[in-house]
Structures are given as C-alpha cells and as structure tokens.
Amino acid sequence: MATWAKVEKFIKQKYVVAEQDGKWLFLDFELDDGRTQRVMVTTTGDLIQFLSPFASLAEVDITQVLSAMRAAAIAERLPARTCRICRRPSCTVNSTSQRSR
C-alpha cells in the first residue's frame, strides 16, 4: 500500500505543485479554452482524496448536480454487458464489442 509520502513524491515528479499546505497539494492545469482547473490532493487516514471545484453554487442547479453524481455512482456498478467506453447498453460501440467476443 502506498504511503502519503510516496503519493506526494509521485505527484511532485509528474506535475508542478502550485501550492502546498501541510497534507494538501494544489495543482493547476491550463485548459484549452484559457481557463485554469485546480485539483487539490490530500489524505485522510488511509484515503487519498482528489477534489476539484467545477462551478460556484449560484451557477448550477444543485438538484441536477446531485442527480448526475448519483448517475455516475450507479454507472460504476453497471453489469459487464454495458459499453466499456460510454457505459450505455444501447451504444453502437457496445453492440460491436459484444459481437467480437
């Protein structure tokens, strides 16, 4: 099992750390549209957490966000017959991959 020290070392070798505060690492990524996306990495007990804000509360409908999060969590538990790319059972990629098995 990786330790926080190993995770921190790996991140620092692969990425530029914009800031560090105790057990928090802050990474900034420049996006093609000119925006910057901040990713925060920390540890809590045995867990490594990656957090990244995507909108301010005033800009989103929280019901839609929670619904999308629920859908994403459910998508992780879909049966193997679903498309490995888009996770939908009716996908054309899925039907092609099913025939090739």
The sign of the torsion formed by the CA atoms of 95, 96, 98, 99 equals positive
Domains of the chain by residue range: 4-51, 57-99
Task: pLDDT tens for the chain, 101 residues: list them.
Answer: 788 899 999 999 999 999 999 899 999 999 899 889 999 999 988 889 999 988 888 888 888 888 887 766 655 555 555 565 665 665 554 344 444 43
Chain centre distance of CA 90: 24
Q: What is the DSSP string of 60-80?
A: S-HHHHHHHHHHHHHHTT--T
Check if the beta carbon of residue 82 is closer than 8 Å to that of residue 74. Answer: no
pTM above 0.75, yes or no: no
